[in-house]
Amino acid sequence: MSYQAHASASPPADAHSQIAMSRVVGSAEAAAFCNYSLAHWLRLTREGKVPTPVRLGARKLGWRIGSLVDFVNERAA
C-alpha cells in the first residue's frame, strides 16, 4: 500500500486569509498601517475616531488587521 496525501489535509486558502485578518497588532503598527503618526493615532483612539481596540492588558491595546483594512477602505471612499 502506498500513502497518498489528501488535499483536505491542508486548510483551505480562505482559512489563511481569515487568520491573517484576525491578527492583532499594537498601536505603533496600527498607526503605521493607517499612515498616521503614533501620537495622532493615540489622539484619534481617545476621541473614538478609529476602530475599537482590543484590550490586551492593563495598558496595552491592539487592533485587528481586518478592522484596520475596513477603516482604511472607508477613509478612501
- Residue ranges per structural domain of the chain: 23-76
Give the predicted TM-score (pTM) of the model. Answer: 0.76
Assigned CATH topology for domain 23-76: Arc Repressor Mutant, subunit A (1.10.10)
Nearest-10 crossing angle of helices 65-76, 13-21: 80
C-alpha cell at 9: 489535509
pLDDT (tens digit per residue) in 12-66: 668 878 888 899 999 999 999 999 999 999 999 999 999 999 999 999 999 999 9
Cβ density class 36-62: b for 16+ within 10 Å, e for less: eeeeebbeebeeeebbebeeeeeeebb
Q: What is the pLDDT of residue 14?
A: 81
